[in-house]
Amino acid sequence: MSPVGLQDSYHTAATVPVHMGESLVKKKKKKKKKKEKEKEKKKEKEKEEEEEEEEEEEEEEEEEEEEEEEEEEEEEEEEEEEEEEEGKINSIFLPTTWALPHEAGLQDSRITLEMLSKVVIYYPYCLKSGHK
């Protein structure tokens, strides 16, 4: 009987020729290369996905900014309308029987409080001097 170590070495040497061992090494290298390529592809895909997500976030931010700008413009328009309405409230509607709007050259009988204050100041002066 031969020793166990010699028997194992003989057995492996007899069943696995040298050229087959070389091909196994080549196959392992190819597998490693494939795995590395797959890893690189996965990394590239992840990078692309991250870039897409960043682009989407940027687009969403731009849309939000545009919406905010539109809201601000609408608020400004509303404020302007409110100011116009306040201006209308500050004007007094005089009856058409008063001659003052025609004398002042106004088309309608709306007169502002400022104009009315001038009239109130001017009218007593007319009474004192006798002018109508």
Nearest to 104 by CA among 115, 88, 120: 115
pLDDT digits (tens, 9 = 90+) for 68-119: 999 999 999 998 888 777 655 555 555 444 455 555 555 555 566 666 666 5
Tokens encoding 36: 């590395």
Q: Are strands 110-112 and 91-93 parallel, antiparallel or unpaired?
A: antiparallel
Query: Would you say residue 34 has pLDDT above 80?
Result: yes
Between 24 and 85, the higher pLDDT residue: 24
SS3 92: strand
Q: How far, in Å, CA of 98 to CA of 106, rounded?
A: 12
pLDDT at 33 over 90: yes
pLDDT at 102: 52
Average pLDDT, the chain: 73
Residue matched to tokens 């328009």: 77
Domain extent listing, the chain: 40-91, 94-132
Task: Give the model's pLDDT for residue 26.
Answer: 84
More confidently predicted of 39 and 118: 39
DSSP state of 95: P
How much is the pLDDT for 23?
Answer: 77
Lowest mean pLDDT among 32-36, 42-46, 95-99, 102-106: 95-99
Could you give the residue ranges of the DSSP H alpha helices within the chain? 4-15, 18-90, 100-103, 113-129
Average pLDDT over residues 38-60: 95
Q: What is the pLDDT of residue 25?
A: 81
